[in-house]
Amino acid sequence: LGLTPQTVHALGGYRVQGRDDDAARQLRLQARELQDAGASMLVLEMVPAVLARELTEALPRCHTIGIGAGSGTAGQVLVLHDMLGMNLGRMPRFVHDFMQDTGSVRGAIEAYVHAVKAGRFPDDARHAW
Q: Note if 45 is an active site residue.
A: yes
Catalytic residue among 33, 45, 57, 110: 45
The number of C-alpha atoms within 13 Å of 96 and in the hemisphere containing its C-beta is: 23
Containing 63, the helix (H) or strand (E) segment is strand 63-67
| Secondary structure class of 82 (helix, strand, coil) | helix
Report phi then psi at 122, rounded to 5.
Answer: -75, 150
Residues 6+ apart with CB under 8 A from 125: none
Of residues 66, 51, 67, the one with CA closest to residue 18: 51
109: amino acid identity, one letter? I
Residues with catalytic roles:
45
